[in-house]
Structure 1
Amino acid sequence: MTVEQYLKKNGPTLSSVLIKELSDDGLSQEAIRKRISRLKSPVNKIIGFFKDNQAFYFLDEQFQTQIYFENLRACLKTDAKKYFSVIRAIEYHYGYIKKDHLSSFTFSPTQNLTSHRNISDVITQLKSLEVIIDDGDYYMLNDLITSKKANFQLYKGVELAKETILSQFYNYSKSIGLVSYNSGKFHSEFAKFQFGFVAPSYVCGITSFSKNILHPAFVLTDVLIGNKVTIEDVNTYLAKIDVIKNTSKNNFLPYLILDNVNQDAFKLLKSNGIIVGFVNKLFGSEYEELLRSLINTVANAGAILKQNPQAYIDLIINLNKLVDGKTNNLKGDLFELAVGYYYSNISQNIDIGRKINYTGFQREIDVYASSQGSLTICECKAYKRSVDLDQTNKWLTQKVPVIYDWIRSFENDKDIIFEFWSTSGFTTEAQDLLQDRKEKSRKYKIDFLSENEIIARAQKSKAQKIVEIMREYFIKD
């Protein structure tokens, strides 16, 4: 059987498989290697990804087809694990992951490290294969490389819960003296690898001395929640830890916070000396239920705000009671729900955090409110600083036109209104630009709201509870 015949029958595969197959015909492995290395169209290959210098062979007609991506995925899983860990990380997070969070869930270093390809290079190579897709602030997967359906809203809910846990863990660690006060960093590096939380610890017994200098140990924490943790996920985490064991001069305590784990995966973590913390054991079952409510509210925000808006009010109140540091760290994500709550009282339908793809351009809509004669699209920011000119200009030139064209592709009758809500207001330059566009725009309406306008809108709302929410959680500081 020729290589071409084999690939046509079985689909794309690695060179090692072809060598084994052709060896059955009596040829030496060296002769086979030379033969297949000289193959030309219609046989093609990918090199530079797989262990032992293997190549991935495919026919021209198979390129970027379903069988191509299915077999590529299988080969990455067995023979290019550092690349497959990226695929698995995005799958675990429901098809999306923030760019600056991805490396925490791989075992590729953030900087150059001998014998290890850094995460930037890994991502570049996967993008060249069109395995992962650059989606602005996020990475997502090519639909043909995964059988799992992406769910952006669910990802956002889980991500918000994870950030809450990391913040809570930091406060907990400080309260018992485990980590040095005000020294913790989120999504930070240790020994050239990224973790969700990193902080030095001066606890007796885990620090070290060198030339009469005290060196702290480091608490390294990652969070995997919202999906079942498998052996695959654990092996990626342990691979990261193993590299650090061999390269770091500092002692460290590895924490992995979970809510649902395969029993074999749990045993593997424990046998490797990893400190495993379950959310309900660390912070209580009431806290765990609150996080589930948070995830559900964000994942199903449009339906919940329209059918049961009180659920959002209850969530805010309970978060304020149970989460240390109040809701300060959650303001950005919860503010769009507050704007959604406002519009749930005056609109027929609303959608929160909607992702659109129009003519190859992907954009995220914070709040999409539909009324009888109009559609309102809101950009929502709850920063401590004022929104500046650069961000305002990007919204006006990169976001608004694409969303407008997308709406007009299916809706020609309703007026379209774009609003920018900012609890901290706008810089003078940004405000001047917005006012100019507001006065000159003809195809659609533009409006912008700072603190005073937000409160004024809330006071005119049918639901006076929105005034309380805005003042208590988003406006005052």
Structure 2
Amino acid sequence: MPNEIQSLLQDFGPGLTSDLISVLVENGLSSAAARKRIQRAEDDYSRMSGLRFEKNARFIYLTEQYGSRQFWDKFEKACYGSGKSYWGALTTLKAKGGVVPLSHFPRVAGTPAARKGQLSPARVLERLKAVNVLEEFEEGERAYVRYRPFFLGIENMAVSLANEIAESVALEGIKDWARRIGFGSFGKFAIRGDEQPPQVAGITWDLTAPSYIRPLVSVSQKGVKPGFLVCDISLFGSIERPEAEAFLRKCDLASAPVGMPSIMPMIVGHVFSSDALELLKGKGILAITLRNLFGEELAQALRELVVMLTDMGARASVNPDHLLKVMNSLTQIEGGSSNLRGALFELVIGSLVKDVENGYLKTGDRRQDLVSGRKAEIDVQLDRGEQAGVLVIECKAKNANSRVSESDIRKWYGDRVPLIYSILTNGGSYKGKPFRFELWSNGDFSASGLKWLTEQPLVMDGYTVGWRDGKALKQYADKAKNTSLRTMLNDYYFHSPLRRVTANPSS
């Protein structure tokens, strides 16, 4: 028969010890007696060890309740009431699809890096990892953080990565817009991805800039002190009230220390719920949609970018004209074209080889090797039938005067090719088909890398290897039937002059 504490946990669900003490006090016990009763029953329940809430409360539960929908709802409710640093991080992380690069977590946590009485982002992450709420993992060459109860696997991963790219492009546009209208000092904008992270009051944002707009400036005997424009962007979905509350808390933390400069907070999204918009505007926050900033064409193009980066290239491969339209729209954003070209290169190449050679196309396919357990992303995979076999292309988009390095070439040849070959052949569906692996770039290969590559065996057991540099790619693109593909490559990827022809003769 369950004791009193077990019965309360069965009736009310998991919760904070402080909440159970309140229930026991309502039933006639003193606070001290209620606390003692919970302590004496500690063998009959479990607790999140190492995670303390306000007034030293602990989150406790019955073993069979762990991991249920009720469990996580109650945990978030406990964080909202008595652990706002945890709640803010989890709420913002969920609003981004449940996963972000590890380097972005300080922005998600929204707490100061070093301030007495406040948990730093590193400490928030450490504590939530310790109780298995957050988890670090590696995908490719990057480390990520995910919210374990919420994360939905590869689909959310793909959408989150696509939104990261769309947000990077949009942030360049926001930076250009804010500079042109004088919201911040022209040459002093900091943006997500910069070598120095955008921080104000020790808190990380997506974009910051000192601002001399009159309401933000303070004047003293030491001179004029600017305020700051601070901005976050969230394109995963609609910005709802919880995300808006988390952003407001972040703004309040930035303004709390005495003597801190004034801030002008801005949050940008595709759309805001009515509750979120009312809350933000009521607190004096600039809540701006991409449509209001850039107009309908660019806002829609950013949505289409996410779609194209998450549907394995299916739409891009059958509609290169649409892909060109999106690229033409988004390259209007000053500074965003570099991010865009790299993100879309594999889609352009996938569409090109399908147009020239036909076959069944996949792009950006993330797979795991059954033998080693390692993961790999396959940029372009074209199944050309039993005779021609499978063509697998690694794509390296390069800016003008950049080259594919020797280290990249060695890694592709010695690591990525055998790994992807193992992934595709151990599953069974491609066993027996001829395989061709190629490294394609719109730029040049480094001289040392090319020399090394030409000295390696090009015919292996089960597959062959080849490559194309920018000039060889341009020759291949001339075979395309669809003019939009040639236009995209000519306008956005080919650099002049190209100094060397290095298509492998047998490709």
- Distance between the aligned counterparts of 1:352 and 1:124, measured in 2? 35
Asked if 1:375 is matched to 2:380, the reply is no
What's the secondary structure of 1:336's corresponding residue? helix
- Distance between the aligned counterparts of 2:67 and 2:456, measured in 1? 44
Structure 1 window deviating more from structure 2 (57-66 vs 151-160): it is 57-66
Which residue of the partner structure matches residue 199 of structure 2? 189
- Distance between the aligned counterparts of 1:397 and 1:121, measured in 2? 39
Q: How many residues align?
A: 475
Aligned positions of 1:199-218 closer than 5 A: 199-218=209-228
The equivalent position to 2:334 in structure 1, one of 324, 330, 345, is 324
Aligned positions of 1:408-427 closer than 5 A: 408-411=426-429, 412-427=431-446
CA apart distance, 1:205: 4.8
The answer (yes or no) to whether the contact 2:381–2:390 under 8 Å persists in 1 is yes
Which residue of the partner structure matches residue 115 of structure 2? 113
1:372 corresponds to which letter in structure 2? G
The answer (yes or no) to whether the contact 1:458–1:464 under 8 Å persists in 2 is no
- Distance between the aligned counterparts of 1:245 and 1:326, measured in 2? 31
Which residue of the partner structure matches residue 306 of structure 1? 317
The answer (yes or no) to whether the contact 2:96–2:234 under 8 Å persists in 1 is no
> Structure 1 pair 326/116, CA: closer, same or farther in 2 (3 Å)?
closer
What's the secondary structure of 1:116's corresponding residue? coil
The answer (yes or no) to whether the contact 2:368–2:376 under 8 Å persists in 1 is yes
The answer (yes or no) to whether the contact 1:19–1:33 under 8 Å persists in 2 is yes
1:163 corresponds to which letter in structure 2? S
Instruction: Provide the aligned C-alpha RMSD in A.
Output: 3.3
Query: Cα deviations across residues 218-273 of structure 1 (Å, max 9, x unaligned)?
Result: 22121223411111011111111101112363232212223311222112111211
- Distance between the aligned counterparts of 2:462 and 2:39, measured in 1? 59
Identity of aligned residues (%): 23
1:116 corresponds to which letter in structure 2? Q
What's the secondary structure of 2:110's corresponding residue? coil
Q: Which runs of 5+ in 1 are unaligned?
A: none
Structure 1 window deviating more from structure 2 (257-266 vs 31-40): it is 31-40
> Structure 1 pair 154/146, CA: closer, same or farther in 2 (3 Å)?
closer
> Structure 1 pair 203/68, CA: closer, same or farther in 2 (3 Å)?
closer
What's the secondary structure of 1:177's corresponding residue? coil
- Distance between the aligned counterparts of 2:220 and 2:457, measured in 1? 64
Query: Cα deviations across residues 71-117 of structure 1 (Å, max 9, x unaligned)?
Result: 544544444332233333333223432332333233223x2221121
1:91 corresponds to which letter in structure 2? K
Which residue of the partner structure matches residue 177 of structure 2? 172
> Structure 1 pair 226/40, CA: closer, same or farther in 2 (3 Å)?
closer
Structure 1 window deviating more from structure 2 (125-134 vs 61-70): it is 61-70
What's the secondary structure of 2:403's corresponding residue? coil
CA apart distance, 1:15: 1.9
2:250 corresponds to which letter in structure 1? K
Moved >6 Å (runs of 4+): none
Scaled by the length of structure 2, the TM-score of the pair is 0.81
The answer (yes or no) to whether the contact 2:398–2:443 under 8 Å persists in 1 is yes
CA apart distance, 1:152: 3.5
2:469 corresponds to which letter in structure 1? S
The answer (yes or no) to whether the contact 2:165–2:340 under 8 Å persists in 1 is yes
Asked if 1:279 is matched to 2:297, the reply is no
- Distance between the aligned counterparts of 2:205 and 2:79, measured in 1? 24
2:261 corresponds to which letter in structure 1? N
- Distance between the aligned counterparts of 1:358 and 1:285, measured in 2? 43
The answer (yes or no) to whether the contact 2:15–2:61 under 8 Å persists in 1 is yes
